[in-house]
Chains A and B, each alone.
Chain A
């Protein structure tokens, strides 16, 4: 049998590269978040380890790796052990279809955007498993809240993505970028509305303020991952920041022209757009209070979903009119 060694090797390298990016990006984002929050709150943030605390996260990672892994008494052990993987693995997988530039994409699937949306929605399983398996009432409430929240915001999120798919006429991530060569999608009013709906729903999807209800520190201590410690906790933590990157990367690709930009290298443009969106989300996080569970649910079903549906209809009508 003829084994394609070269292809296998290149696949392996790409896998390693994705994992490395996953870890380094999460560490950078945690540092960035701490610095931005410090700036907003008149503090300095990490300053001691490395220049401006740049190496603080390495120290923290070492600490987390060495921490004892505490299993709560009477936890549902199998579910409890599996939960962090259910959260972390789909987020790594979603990196496969992120187009960093024309050449830098692991797999340009012809259903790329569908793949990202479906695999990231697996995370809710892990969150719910963590809440259920911990044998902790706060975690259970957090897990239930999270399931309800993610399921409701999935609807307007996908409807807003649908608008872009209709405009681009393709599900491939690279195809969507190429469709924007004449002008970013967010310049069209109907897609701009979709962008807005997408950003709100995506913020809810990754449980960030003002939709950090599953973690609601002042109510539920820290929600579904209250009982996790050591490396298992850091898997939730890494996945959270990786998810933040993914929603921002998808937003940049779908609405802001992805890696398109006037100068080379294009990966540079992509990262600027992504980290710009991330900084915006961080700014929101450190400024706004949290909405209440029922307020958030009624906002999803009574405002966002109808708006997104009408937007899809209008887009269809506009496209039909054109051609």
Chain B
């Protein structure tokens, strides 16, 4: 018998490539023989732009890296800049940063779960559930900073403004609501026979492979490695809060889903403690707007998708000499080709969905 390989171009316009990812797949029937991801369709030269902007001016650009979790990007950049400049934010600002970062983590995980279920063919219903709940977080952010997607809320040395009146009640209401509504997701997906059959033991990512490829975040924790920067290298005031690092057992797609589900609960726990212990004071930054940058600093934080690192090099002038972003999705995507070889095309879509990549921070 003579077999012929079929080359399929999946993307850059395809319903389940999560943005403008282009996968060149070689198929034998429906089995993937080779997968070559091509990136760069969303490249905006953000790192290069940083070299002609002051640190304050660069803040809105970080919103556009991982646009699902802008607050967390703001946070990573702020902390890197503060490390370079030797600034510490006021306690109230630090608590506020934790609150918005964790709220954004919940929003991001909700969207990841929704799109993952969508990739498995659950026609939009879980996605609409996720969007419905994420909308509540977006409304809170809208009240806090006036934006719904690109928040630009954090400032070097603090935050843009204090919590407006009524915002803490909104957050409390949201937490009560989300705790009430999470079982609905479990009913719809977690125990669903078809959902389990499609995702359990599919795309198993062994511990060693994950570490070798630099996979981080929920994907790494699903493979059983308890590595969470909030716990292992605590920044801000995370060491004051009581929360667990969630890990999975097998590292399959279902575990990656499950880790995200449980991390939502942990994040809610953190928000509750941070809101309860919110110190008085002025969170608004009282620092100069122009800095002379000397030396270099690298700061990594735990983004919803993994370790987000900012490396800033200064040469004495007001602009950075070089700014490098270490984006978690880039490492998470690079493991994809190794994972999906020999797989059915349907499973490949499942694995891609479970890795939860955002093209904005891969291309930068």
User: Which residues of chain A have a CB within 8 Å of any CB of chain B?
Assistant: 37, 40-43, 137-138, 141, 209-210, 212-213, 216-219, 221, 285-295
Q: How far is the CA of A217 from the CA of B195 in the complex (A)?
A: 17
B14 within 8 A of A: yes
Mask: chain B, 116-130; 1 = CB below 8 Å from A; 0 = not: 011111111100110
Q: How far is the CA of A216 from the CA of B121 in the complex (A)?
A: 7
Segment among B213-221, B258-266, B340-348 that sits at the interface with chain A: B340-348
Mask: chain B, 3-17; 1 = CB below 8 Å from A; 0 = not: 000101000001110
Known: A41-B129, A292-B347. 5 other contacts (CB 8 A): A212-B121, A216-B346, A218-B119, A286-B124, A292-B198
Nearest neighbor of A210 in chain B, beta-carbon distance: B194
Main secondary structure of the interface of A (DSSP, over half): loop
B194 touches A291 (CB 8 A): yes
Which residue, of B122, B129, B345, B349, has the highest number of chain A Cβ atoms within 10 A? B122
Collect the chain B residues with CB atoms within 8 Å of residue A217's CB: 15, 121, 123
B123 touches A209 (CB 8 A): yes
Closest CB in chain A relative to B5 CB, distance in Å: 12
User: Which residues of chain B have a CB within 8 Å of any CB of chain A?
Assistant: 6, 8, 14-16, 30, 117-125, 128-129, 132, 188-189, 192, 194-195, 197-198, 344-347, 349, 353
Collect the chain A residues with CB atoms within 8 Å of residue B128's CB: 41-43
Interchain residue pairs A-B with the least CB separation, the first 8: A290-B121, A41-B128, A218-B16, A289-B122, A289-B120, A218-B119, A289-B121, A292-B346
A41 touches B124 (CB 8 A): yes
Main secondary structure of the interface of B (DSSP, over half): helix
A209 touches B121 (CB 8 A): yes
B123 touches A291 (CB 8 A): no
A288 touches B30 (CB 8 A): no
A293 touches B344 (CB 8 A): yes
Nearest neighbor of B119 in chain A, beta-carbon distance: A218
Closest CB in chain B relative to A133 CB, distance in Å: 17
A40 touches B125 (CB 8 A): yes
Partner of B123, one of A138, A213, A221, A286: A286
Q: Would you give 23 A-B contacts (Cβ < 8 Å), ordered by A?
A: A41-B128, A42-B129, A141-B345, A209-B121, A210-B121, A216-B121, A218-B353, A219-B345, A219-B346, A286-B125, A287-B122, A288-B192, A288-B194, A289-B120, A289-B194, A290-B120, A290-B194, A290-B346, A291-B198, A292-B197, A292-B198, A292-B346, A295-B198
Closest CB in chain B relative to A196 CB, distance in Å: 16
Collect the chain B residues with CB atoms within 8 Å of residue A213's CB: 346
Nearest neighbor of A38 in chain B, beta-carbon distance: B128
Q: How far is the CA of A217 from the CA of B353 in the complex (A)?
A: 14
Collect the chain B residues with CB atoms within 8 Å of residue A216's CB: 121, 346
Nearest neighbor of A290 in chain B, beta-carbon distance: B121
Nearest neighbor of B195 in chain A, beta-carbon distance: A289
Partner of A288, one of B14, B15, B122: B122
Q: How far is the CA of A210 from the CA of B346 in the complex (A)?
A: 14
